[in-house]
Amino acid sequence: MDTETQTTRRRARGSSEGADLELTGICKRFAEFIAVDQLDLVVPSGKFFALLGPSGCGKSTTLRMIAGLEAPSEGSISIGGQDVTELPSHKRPVNTVFQSYALFPHMSVLENVAFGLKRKKDREAMPKAKAALEMVELGHLATRKPAQLSGGQQQRVALARALVNRPQVLLLDEPLGALDMKLRRQMQLELKTIQTEVGLTFIHVTHDQEEAMTMADVVAVMNEGRIEQLGPPRELYELPRTAFVANFLGKSNLMRGTVSGQEDQLLSVDVAGNRILLPAARAVATEGEIMVGIRPEKLQISATEDTTAGMNRLDGIVKDASFTGTTTEYLIEVEGIGLIGTFAQNRGQQPGEMGQRVFLSWDPVHTFGLRGSESELAGVEEA
């Protein structure tokens, strides 16, 4: 045995540090339905990792396979260098915070939290469980039964029950789904703080793109059993590589066009007679028919034409303007392209009213290019 595997083994046996998680060629088939399709994934130790996708995209199944609650049809899973594919769930160094919390109703809150430690024959199970409850600020409710707690409190108990075991990987299966908006925001911040403090590897499954972006270091967007794109939230948002990611993660204006030329790393794209510039490095496809995308907030809307050189420009008629307080959201019909969405901060000026002609402009560096073969509506419904 070489030294490297020795250290990974040692780590796998139960230190409190997080560990790398590696999925290789994972497939999961249910009868005729493919839930997860050839998934490869490496989550480095200590990262807050989010699996984001619409319901039915296979993200929960992936999580259940990591937990050992579901066996993959193909592929292997390793944690900290140790292959755990064949290990039953009770032998894996992972813990899960379930969507339903799954607190044991016949035990007190404290007994719930101490459950895992007792199974591991930890002599300090009770003091550790008490400390974990204090951490989630529920020490005073230790003797209550789960049914006597509110949803948010139950959620914290579930979190404490998983965290107290110091698993190498903590799995969170939409744990905030049942909470109301305010509590949810608060728990998001707390979870993030706790993760930074304990330094464990967190895998967070969610369908809420905002939640994934606020909390995670790395986000993997899943769709139909595959990972569409993986990266830090900002990168995914600023430079989506598929139409699904562009639409599911935030909103995008996608326009079809044909590449007409290239100069100085800038592609010229003919979109319904308009010349749109796009950095070649930001395009997945650089020839023929492609899809050009721009995020709504990158657009400038104005009643007069912006004549700055090197800007992308479009003009159209205001079809809808809805006032939302801090901003006004506009839908602008551009001839030959369709509706383009944007918004303007309410700083007193009114760039356009219904039926009026307005001018849109943006810096080409924000433009991104996608494959023309994709549907511009991919991921719109699910978001």
Partner 1 sequence: MSSRVLGRRGKKLDLRSAEELRAERRKGRTGQYLVLPGMIGLALFFALPVLVLLAMSLYTKPPGAEIGEFVPALQFSNYAVMLEAYWPVLLRSFWFALIATVLALLIGYPMAYLVAVRLRQHGLLKGILLVLLIAPFFSSFILRTQAWKQILSDEGFIAQTLKAVSLLPADGHLTATPIAVVAGLTYNFLPFMVLPIYANLDRLDTRLLEASGDLYANPVTTFTKVTLPLSASGVFAGTLLTFIPAAGDYINASLLGNNRNTTMIGQVIDSRFFRVIDYPGAAALSFVLMVSILILVIIYIRRFGTRELM
Residues at the interface with partner 1 (CB under 8 A): 67-69, 88-91, 94-96, 98, 100, 102-106, 115-116, 119-120, 161-162, 165
Residue 14 CB, nearest approach to partner 1 (Å): 11
Q: CA geometry: angle at 171 spanning 168 and 173, to 5°?
A: 175
Smallest distance from the beta carbon of 278 to partner 1, in angstroms?
A: 48
Taking the least distance from each CB to partner 1, the nearer of 82 and 229 is 82
- For partner 1, the closer of residues 169 and 299 by Cβ is 169
Residue among 110 and 236 whose Cβ is closer to partner 1: 110
- At closest approach, how far in Å is the CB of 113 from partner 1? 10
Closest approach of partner 1 to the CB of residue 135, in Å: 18
Closest contact distance (angstroms) between CB of 295 and partner 1 is 40
Between 116 and 293, CB nearer to partner 1? 116
Give the shortest CB-66-to-partner 1 separation in angstroms: 11
**Measured from the CB of residue 67, what is the shortest distance to partner 1 in angstroms?**
6
| Nearer of residues 120 and 347 to partner 1, judged by Cβ | 120
Closest approach of Cβ 122 to partner 1, in Å?
10
**Three-state SS across the chain?**
CCHHHHHHHHHHCCCCCCCCEEEEEEEEEECCEEEEEEEEEEECCCCEEEEECCCCCCHHHHHHHHHCCCCCCEEEEEECCEECCCCCHHHCCEEEECCCCCCCCCCCHHHHHHHHHHHCCCCCHHHHHHHHHHHCCCHHHCCCCHHHCCHHHHHHHHHHHHHCCCCCEEEEECCCCCCCHHHHHHHHHHHHHHHHHHCCEEEEEECCHHHHHHHCCEEEEEECCEEEEEECHHHHHHCCCCHHHHHHCCCCEEEEEEEEEEECCEEEEEECCEEEEEEHHHECCCCCEEEEEECHHHCEEECCCCCCCCCEEEEEEEEEEEECCCEEEEEEEECCCEEEEEEEECCCCCCCCCCCEEEEEECHHHCEEEECCCCCCCCCCCC
Nearer to partner 1, 115 or 284 (CB): 115
Nearer to partner 1, 62 or 165 (CB): 165
Name the residue nearer to partner 1 (CB basis): 99 or 286.
99
Please provide the size of the chain in residues. Answer: 383
